[in-house]
Amino acid sequence: MLGSPVGWTVVPKELLFSNGFLVARDFNWIVCTCFNGASNISQAGGLACLSPEGLGAMHQVIGFYKENTDIITETFSSLGIKVYGGKNALYVWVHFPGQSSWDVFSQILERTHVTTPGSSFGPAGEG
């Protein structure tokens, strides 16, 4: 997980389970039971991001990361290495046949100090 995520969910009061019970009531119970809420600093940051200045700053940061994603994707592709992702998200998966994501992670970490193994994102991130 990156940063300090903040989000919200809107559950219409009219939304019912097939048995007629309110979805919102159960959803509220699950959220209140399993999640303590976003920290104060995350909430303040989330509100700041919704301001015109915050939205502008977010677009600048996203643009910066998107440029880097494009550079990574183009570089690996030009070397004949398969690359996935980078179009609708800032994550890029690079295919290194015959090596586990942890092996590749260790090699890159040793040489450049910046990487995350694909398996950190679940079984689909391996291989």
pLDDT at res. 2? 60
Radius of gyration of the chain (CA): 20
Q: How far is CA 36 from the centre of its chain?
A: 20
Element (H, E) at 26: helix 23-34
Give the Cβ contact number of residue 127 at 10 Å: 14
Three-state DSSP class for residue 33: helix
Long-range contacts of 119-126 (CB under 8 A, 24+ apart): 121/91, 125/93, 125/101, 126/100, 126/101
| Amino acid type, 100 | S
pLDDT at res. 127? 65
pLDDT at res. 78? 97
State the residue for tokens 């990487």.
115
Phi-psi region of 11 (alpha: psi -120 to 50; beta: other; left: phi over 0): beta
Using 70 as the pLDDT threshold, list the residues of the chain that sit under it: 1-3, 127
Element (H, E) at 92: strand 92-94
pTM (predicted TM-score): 0.60
pLDDT at res. 1? 43
pLDDT at res. 76? 93
Residues paired with 92 in a beta bridge: 85
